[in-house]
Amino acid sequence: MNTVPNSIVVLGASLAGLSAVRALREKGYTGRLVVAGSETSLPYDRPPLSKEFLTGDVTDEDLLLMNSDDDTLDVEWRMNSTATGLIRSPDGLHRVTFDDGSHLDADAVVVATGARARTLPGHFGLAGVHTLRSVDDARALRESLSRAQNLVIVGAGFIGAEVASSAAGMSLQVTVVEASPTPLAGPLGIELGAICAGQHAVHGVRLLTGAVVDALLGDDAVEAVRLSDGTVLPADVVVVGIGAVPNVEWAGGSELMIDDGFLTDSSCRTNLPGVYAIGDCARTFDEAHQVHHRSEHWSNAVTQAATVADTIMATPSGPAAIPYFWSHQYGKMLQFAGTRHSTDEVRFVDGDPGTGTFVATYDRDGDTVGVFAMNNPRLFTRYKKQLARSRA
């Protein structure tokens, strides 16, 4: 029998954390809610950080996720507080400790501690080298870009491509260095990944694939990037966009099961009763594929926040949401929904890849299991709804 906890601590004041407390209140939770976050800022939107925020089209105020409707959430916000441990307190509650020596006790804990940017070894302290994860990262990068002529981006994933797109619009000379033969082949497949990568050349951005960084050159500030084949690329600014690492180390002594994220079942329960994990830090069991999977996409954070609220409140959950993500690059909207296997057949159902406006489906055993669109949100939405109906 499920017992609704009297108090809940949410670790992580990001989209996932805010969405969790919104969902809990919407489902009738009346107990004490505390949200603790390591940043000083209240929850803000991260997708614009690599795009409109860099170009100055979006301000700090525009990033804020909270609105007047959130005034009624009755949440205690504890900012600038980084969790350092999780144990069972003497009275049976969960005790979260923080870096300032304080602690919080609660009946339940929702872990939404997110992820941090992966870095290149050996560049610490070199001015002009950036990663991009937080609003502070974005402010520092924007300042560097305002004084730069040559930008080198390491990694042609979504963050790298979005920064390249933004910087190209700021009239910088941009080179993207990618170790794999085809950028975005992992999430989209080789064929569609190559089409997306082709947008770099169309907009004057140099893309080097199969290229490995050997060293960042410079004394106090970066001056160039040297590749393993000896090529030297001039650089006033370097952005490292090579993925993210889940923030799990703080819970190393907690007995939580950790393997590239906090392991949970499909309802976001960890192995410790009363402790849940959602968002970028969670590696959740996927019932459809019978594997644990970690997703860093915006839509996943919102979906899992609703799931964990259902789990805590013991309310029925609807059908599993269709995996979905999007990106803006070079003025085009890129959208993907569904699932993809390497053996799926890609079928173009509308438009022309050569024009940068099209829709393609991923078909498996005669069924459509995924859809990708470039600059065609209307038809994409129709296919996404069909995928959702097929799961219901």
14 and 40 belong to one structural domain: yes
> Where does the pLDDT of residue 392 fall: very low under 50, low under 70, confident under 90, or very high at 90 and above?
low
Supply the CATH number for residue 265's domain.
3.50.50.60
107 and 253 belong to one structural domain: yes
User: Is there a domain that residue 318 lies in?
Assistant: no
Cα–Cα distance measured from residue 370 to residue 346, given in angstroms and rounded to the nearest whole number: 9
What does each C-alpha distance from 64 to 15, 42, 59, 231 come to in angstroms?
10, 7, 9, 42
pLDDT attached to residue 390? 81
Query: Residue 30, Cβ neighbours under 10 Å: how many?
Result: 10
Mean pLDDT of the chain: 94
The tally of domains found in the chain comes to 3
User: Is there a domain that residue 338 lies in?
Assistant: yes
pLDDT tens digits for 225-261?
999 999 999 999 999 999 999 999 999 999 999 999 9
Which SS3 state, helix, strand or coil, does residue 5 take?
coil
User: Is there a domain that residue 110 lies in?
Assistant: yes
157 and 225 belong to one structural domain: yes
Q: What is the DSSP string of 133-156?
A: SSHHHHHHHHHHHTT-SEEEEE--
Contact 278, 110 (CB under 8 A): yes
User: Is there a domain that residue 75 lies in?
Assistant: yes
What does each C-alpha distance from 114 to 12, 25, 282, 296 come to in angstroms?
7, 22, 8, 8
Rg of the Cα atoms in the chain: 22
Contact 82, 99 (CB under 8 A): yes
208 and 230 belong to one structural domain: yes
Domain that holds residue 345: 331-391
* Pure H helices in the chain: 15-26, 52-55, 60-63, 135-145, 158-169, 185-188, 190-202, 298-313, 377-391
Does position 1 have pLDDT exceeding 60, yes or no? no
pLDDT attached to residue 89? 81
Chain position carrying tokens 């069991």? 285
Average pLDDT over residues 332-353: 94
Which SS3 state, helix, strand or coil, does residue 76 take?
strand
pLDDT tens digits for 80-139?
999 999 998 878 899 999 999 999 999 999 999 999 999 988 767 799 999 999 999 999
The residue type at 256 = L
Which SS3 state, helix, strand or coil, does residue 167 take?
helix
> Where does the pLDDT of residue 2 fall: very low under 50, low under 70, confident under 90, or very high at 90 and above?
low
**Which tokens hold the place of 18?**
């805010």
- 83 forms beta bridges with 98
User: Is there a domain that residue 151 lies in?
Assistant: yes
User: Is there a domain that residue 321 lies in?
Assistant: no
Supply the CATH number for residue 378's domain.
3.30.390.30
Which SS3 state, helix, strand or coil, does residue 323 take?
coil
Contact 259, 251 (CB under 8 A): no
pTM tops 0.85, yes or no: yes
11 and 60 belong to one structural domain: yes
Query: Residue 220, Cβ neighbours under 10 Å: how many?
Result: 9
